[in-house]
Every structure is written in C-alpha cells, then in structure tokens.
Amino acid sequence: MKPSRWRTLGLLGLGLGACSLTHSLDDLRGGVAVAGSSSGGDAATGGTNGKAGSAGVAATEGGDAAGNAAAGAGGGSEPPTGPHLITPDPVSGGKQGFLEPLELQFSDVMDLTTLSGDALCKGSVRLRKQGNQLCIALKPAVAIDGRPAAYSLDLMEQLEVGQSYELTVTTDATTQDGVPLESTADVSLQAVYRHTIKMDGANDFLPGETLMTSSGGYTAYIAWDRQALYLGMQGAQIPKKEQNGGLFAISYLAWPGASPSTMAAQTYKAVSPMLDFAATHYVRWKGDQSGASLFTYTGPGQWEESPFNNSKGQEFRQNGEFLELKVPFDVSFSQAVSADQPLKLVMFLLNETTGAESTYAAAPGVTGGDTTTPQLPKHFELTLVDSPAFPKDSPILP
C-alpha cells in the first residue's frame, strides 16, 4: 500500500478471503460483497492431523487496513486527528460486491442516524456509478456486530459487475458526540462478482450464472463467494432415488497451487473420460442420492474421497430435476488463491449403467460424444477473487 494521510486500523476478515473458497450467493437480490473490507482473518489456517491447513481465496485482500496504517506511520502527509473513514481506504480504494451491502468503518463510533444516502445524493453517504449524477439509494445503516465503529448499508439495487463507482462520505456524518468527520472522504470502488447460493433446493442462480451444456434440455450453473463454490445441474435425468443409481453429476477442477494432477478422469466401469487440463480434484453427486463427495488426486489412478459433511458446511440439495452443491474452500483445499490464479473447471453427467455408458450435459457446452472414452476438450477459467465478470462470461479454453 502506498503512503496515505489516513491512519488505518486492522479489521476483522471474512471466511473465504485468505484461506477459503466461498461466498454468499443468495439470489438476484442477494448479498453484496463488502466494500473494501479487510480480510485479515482469511489467512490460511494451520493443518491438523498431518494435513495441510485450510485454503483461503482472497489472500490479497487480507491485511489491507493494517498495511495502510503502517504506510501512514511511515511518512507522507500528517494523518487526520479528528473522526475519519478508515475503510474502504480513501487512497487505495476497494472492491464492492455487486449485491453485497456497503460496509464502512470509522475511527470513532458514529451516530447511525447521520449515515444515509438516497438516489438524489442528498445524504452523507453517496455511491454512484462513475460519471453519473444520480446515486444508488441505500437502506438505513446498521452496526456490524463485533466490529467497533463499523456499519453496513444495504443497496437498493445491484451494481454493474466490472464497473467503477465513486463513494463519498461527507462531513454530514457525525460521531455519537455530534462531531463531524474531519473532512469529506472520496473513495474509488470497483463492482466485482461474488454471490452466495442458499442450499435450500430452490434455484437461486442468476442468468449470469446459467450455462448452456452439450445436451438439449440440460442446464449447468456455477457461482461463488468468499467462502465457497456453488455448482448446479438441471435436467430430466437428475433422478429420483429409485430411478438411476448409475448416474453421477461430476465436476473436475484444477485448484491453483495444488498437486499432483492428472488429465485422466477416474474410470467408472467402462467410462474413462479424458480432460484437456490436469485436474487436482473432482466433486461427485451420486444419482441414487446416497451422498456427495470431494475427491483429491493422490497419484496414478488414485483418488482420495472426502464425503460431504453438513457439520462442516458442505451441503447438497436436490429438488425434482434440479441439483445444487456447495463446496466450501476452507475445508476442501489447502492452498490460497489470488486474483491472478484462475480455477479450471469442467462439469458433466456420467452414466455407467451397462449398455448406456456415456457422458453428456457437459459445460462448457462441448463434448467428445456419448462414448466410453469421451474427450472433454474445453474448460472454464474462473477468477474467484474480485472477478470483473459473471461466471458465464469467464474464458473458455483452449
């Protein structure tokens, strides 16, 4: 962080930041990512029982506030002496989830009634798209539990992912003692993608998270937040328990920094898919509804299974022809990722039933055909940290 005249304080972090894969993907109305919130608490956790520690997604997000404080102490303009905005940082700016509430932290406890903002930019908190005259209307501010002098304001509309926004907090904002901010704070924010999906069996995926597959009548879904990856599939052969025990919904992925890896997918009876990238893990849901698991590649032909355990936050739900799964980062992966480390992923359905062996409904929507040795020639590259685009707009390679 560069020197600043603002003295910053360390803040509490969010789960998927430095060491986990997730984030709340509510629905189109769902939560918005914390604007410039520090994620110091996201650092990778230590390993236990001989295993690697938990992964964190936003390794680059953690410690922003603490870094600014150190920079301010190191030189430059004199830091403010009166009440002032700490985060998002007026100098370095921040990232704002397109659906998440705006979060502000100050150097002093504020009078909640003075933190407000309307569409006409008349309040003390003004958020507008860069170049616009009108603002985003905000709901009344509420205090954030466990974070002194931190406040949350829900947005009345979603932001445009990838767009730049201007946040202004004026001197109309006062402390509980009636002291106004020392000066108006102007902050540059970028709206980024992250969305939490509720594991309730309802289809809460947004249009930007909806993917075409290689088979008519089948739709795939991908979403993520700071804490988890969310996967979904919908189609006629998402079976009832008694219908098809030979069907599986499968997603292969290459987690950044993980090893070993392989381009040969696990064989299911006569079905041996081939990938176009070296995978480190795969997620599987069993069509007989006996469970879902994460598999980790450990060596030639070897995959270690970790069944999903709801007590650890890993969940899956099926409702008719719709299936959704949640893969938490902090209990699934041992390496943290950053904005320049994309996740490679391909999804498909696999039928190992004798006489009907095949793979189909692949996303990206290309497949090598319904054969026992299908070639899956493409994959998504997903930016899990501060993504400037929706999942459906992610690169498809090669």
pLDDT at 153 over 50: yes
Residue 201, in any domain of the structure: no
Closest by CA to 275, choosing from 295, 303, 253, is 253
Are both 116 and 260 inside the same structural domain?
no
Residue 76, in any domain of the structure: yes
In 3-state terms, what secondary structure has residue 207?
A: helix
pLDDT at 14 over 70: no
Residue 28, in any domain of the structure: yes
In 3-state terms, what secondary structure has residue 179?
A: coil
Query: Tokens at residue 48, please?
Result: 């236990």
Instruction: Tell me how many domains the chain contains.
Output: 2
Q: What is the signed CA dihedral for 311, 57, 332, 225, rounded to 10 degrees?
A: 50
Determine if the peptide bond prior to 388 is cis (ω within 30°): no
Rounded distance, CA 304 to CA 51, Å?
13
Are both 129 and 239 inside the same structural domain?
no
Can you give the residue range of the structural domain that contains 241?
207-397
- Specify the higher pLDDT residue, 96 or 244: 96
Are both 130 and 212 inside the same structural domain?
no
Residues 6+ apart with CB under 8 A from 66: 8, 9, 10, 38, 40
Residue 187, in any domain of the structure: yes
Residue 340, in any domain of the structure: yes
Closest by CA to 91, choosing from 69, 109, 107, 74, is 69
Percent of the chain predicted with pLDDT > 90 = 64
Closest by CA to 64, choosing from 91, 45, 46, is 91
Rounded distance, CA 353 to CA 243, Å?
12
Rounded distance, CA 191 to CA 390, Å?
11
- Confidence at residue 254, expressed as pLDDT on a 0 to 100 scale: 98
Query: CA angle 396-279-287, nearest 5°?
Result: 90
Last-in-domain residue among 163, 196, 229: 196
CA 146 to chain centre: 23
- Confidence at residue 311, expressed as pLDDT on a 0 to 100 scale: 59
Are both 270 and 142 inside the same structural domain?
no
Are both 158 and 286 inside the same structural domain?
no
In 3-state terms, what secondary structure has residue 129?
A: strand
DSSP 329: H
Are both 211 and 142 inside the same structural domain?
no
CA 37, 332, 350, 369 torsion: positive or negative? positive
Are both 12 and 118 inside the same structural domain?
yes
- Confidence at residue 245, expressed as pLDDT on a 0 to 100 scale: 74
Determine if the peptide bond prior to 398 is cis (ω within 30°): yes
CA 324 to chain centre: 16
Rounded distance, CA 227 to CA 331, Å?
10
Query: CA angle 179-181-183, nearest 5°?
Result: 140
User: Around Cβ 187, how many Cβ atoms within 10 Å?
Assistant: 23
β-partners of residue 346 are 252
Any idea what the CATH number is for the domain that residue 59 is in? 2.60.40.1220
Residue 335, in any domain of the structure: yes
- Specify the higher pLDDT residue, 238 or 208: 208
Are both 263 and 329 inside the same structural domain?
yes
In 3-state terms, what secondary structure has residue 358?
A: strand
pLDDT at 205 over 90: yes
Residue 202, in any domain of the structure: no
Are both 211 and 257 inside the same structural domain?
yes
| Arithmetic mean of pLDDT, 221-225 | 98
Residue with tokens 């990938």: 275
Are both 190 and 215 inside the same structural domain?
no
- Confidence at residue 27, expressed as pLDDT on a 0 to 100 scale: 38
* Mean pLDDT of all residues belonging to the chain: 82
**386 neighbors 371 (Cβ within 8 angstroms):** no
pLDDT digits (tens, 9 = 90+) for 23-69: 333 333 333 333 333 333 343 444 444 344 456 564 444 444 444 44
Which of these ranges, 58-67, 140-149, 213-222, 297-306, has the smallest mean pLDDT? 58-67
Q: Count of H helices and E strands in the chain? A: 2, 25
pLDDT at 359 over 50: yes
| 368 confidence band (pLDDT: 50, 70, 90) | low
Rounded distance, CA 312 to CA 366, Å?
34
- Specify the higher pLDDT residue, 172 or 31: 172
- Confidence at residue 268, expressed as pLDDT on a 0 to 100 scale: 92
Are both 327 and 222 inside the same structural domain?
yes
Rounded distance, CA 186 to CA 169, Å?
7
Alpha carbon distance, N-terminus to C-terminus of the chain: 36
Residue 349, in any domain of the structure: yes
Are both 218 and 171 inside the same structural domain?
no
Residue with tokens 């003004």: 126
